[in-house]
């Protein structure tokens, strides 16, 4: 690092668990790029101040994570169409004095899902658990990919209904979590987007595991632990499983490419991410 080192980073609250710095900094070193990636714990009350500071300090860009993905929109100069439809931003690019917001979560998720499972998306009947920022990105991406149907189940049904109504393509509907039993039998792709089961509450599970069946793929966006209780229960019942590490990798690679204007070293980033996860016993 020297006076010419550029800065990118991550803002969220909390961020101490993030493995993105290890992954991104390995990528910069692999390509010989004079940049450093840092994580910043920013409280919701300080979000506007943080964005103004990063603009003033000349950051090339940054990632945005919970709980700022929606609130950050009002602090940006421009929001790309997909991110605006989703209603959430996870990547900001500083370009010619303007801050532009993007969302790479949805595309990153699709890349990971198809690469790791080989699913034919147009044949899928999808059930999404949750209706937050991650669910919005995944739902819009899956709708754009042409899945057969999307059902969104959320503790607050009204929130699920708003998300379903925002999906302009395909067949979308909303149910409450208590109604999952009624629709899960026809589900071929279950996507878990909530924080239930995330470290350290690793023995929590978002639905009754007896509802899982062998005709479905179960995808959990959580990457710590690598294999959540939901995935373990799904695997035991003969379902195909898909963890969240690949989404983390591919959304980061897409952000890297927007900042740097060149292909990300995905294999290098994957190795760094896997190594960073090892001390937690695979989580």
Is 159 marked as a binding-site residue? yes
The single residue of 69, 227, 258, 271 carrying the catalytic annotation is 69
Question: What is the rounded distance in angstroms from the CA atom of residue 211 to the CA atom of residue 180?
Answer: 9
Is 155 marked as a binding-site residue? yes
Is 132 marked as a binding-site residue? yes
Strand order in the sheet with 217-220: 171-176, 149-154, 125-129, 189-192, 217-220, 240-242
Active site residue 227: no
Is 176 marked as a binding-site residue? no
Is 158 marked as a binding-site residue? yes
Is 125 marked as a binding-site residue? no
Give the list of residues 6+ apart from residue 31 with CB closer than 8 angstroms, or none: 260, 262, 265
The HSE-up count of residue 53 (CA atoms within 13 Å, CB side) is 9
Beta-strand (E) ranges in 13-120? 35-41, 61-64, 78-79, 91-95, 98-102
Beta-strand (E) ranges in 124-188? 125-129, 149-154, 171-176
Is 105 marked as a binding-site residue? yes
Is 65 marked as a binding-site residue? yes
Retrieve residue 213's tokens: 């069946």
Is 78 marked as a binding-site residue? no
Is 202 marked as a binding-site residue? no
Is 53 marked as a binding-site residue? no
DSSP-assigned states of every residue in 7-36: EEEEEESS-TT--HHHHHHHHHHHHT--EE
Is 26 marked as a binding-site residue? no
Is 20 marked as a binding-site residue? yes
Is 131 marked as a binding-site residue? yes
Question: What is the rounded distance in angstroms from the CA atom of residue 131 to the CA atom of residue 116?
Answer: 24
Is 90 marked as a binding-site residue? yes
Three-state SS for 90? Answer: coil
Q: Which residues pair with 192 in a beta bridge?
A: 129, 220
Is 63 marked as a binding-site residue? no
Question: What is the rounded distance in angstroms from the CA atom of residue 245 to the CA atom of residue 215?
Answer: 23
Helices (H), 145-240: 157-166, 180-183, 229-236
Tokens 């989404």, located at residue: 247
User: What are the binding residues for NADP(+)?
Assistant: 81, 130-134, 154-159, 221, 244
Which residues make up each annotated binding site for shikimate?
18-20, 65, 90, 105, 223, 251
Which residue positions form the known binding site? 18-20, 65, 81, 90, 105, 130-134, 154-159, 221, 223, 244, 251
- Tell me which residues are annotated as active site: 69
């Amino acid at each position: 690092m020297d006076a010419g080192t550029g800065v990118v980073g991550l803002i969220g609250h909390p961020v101490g668990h993030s493995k993105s710095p290890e992954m991104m900094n390995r990528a910069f070193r692999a390509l010989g790029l004079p940049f450093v990636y840092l994580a910043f714990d920013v409280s919701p009350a300080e979000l506007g101040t943080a964005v103004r500071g990063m603009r003033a300090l000349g950051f090339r860009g940054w990632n945005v994570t919970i709980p700022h993905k929606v609130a950050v929109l009002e602090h940006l100069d421009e929001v790309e169409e997909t991110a605006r439809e989703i209603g959430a931003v996870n990547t900001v690019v500083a370009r010619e004095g303007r801050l532009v917001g993007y969302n790479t979560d949805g595309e990153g998720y699709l890349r990971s899902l198809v690469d790791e499972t080989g699913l034919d998306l147009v044949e899928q009947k999808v059930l999404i658990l949750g209706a937050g920022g991650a669910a919005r990105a995944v739902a819009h991406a899956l709708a754009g990919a042409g899945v057969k149907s999307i059902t969104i189940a959320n503790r607050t049904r009204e929130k699920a209904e708003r998300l379903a109504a925002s999906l302009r393509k395909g067949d979308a509907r909303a149910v409450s979590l208590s109604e999952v039993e009624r629709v899960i039998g026809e589900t071929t792709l279950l996507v878990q987007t909530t924080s239930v089961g995330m470290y350290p509450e690793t023995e929590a599970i978002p639905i009754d595991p007896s509802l899982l069946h062998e005709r479905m793929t179960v995808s959990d966006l959580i990457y710590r632990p690598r294999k959540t209780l939901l995935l373990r229960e799904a695997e035991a019942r003969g379902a195909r499983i898909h963890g969240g590490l690949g989404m983390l990798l591919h959304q980061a690679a897409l952000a890297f490419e927007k900042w740097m204007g060149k292909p990300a070293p995905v294999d290098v980033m994957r190795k760094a991410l896997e190594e960073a996860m090892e001390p937690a016993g695979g989580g």
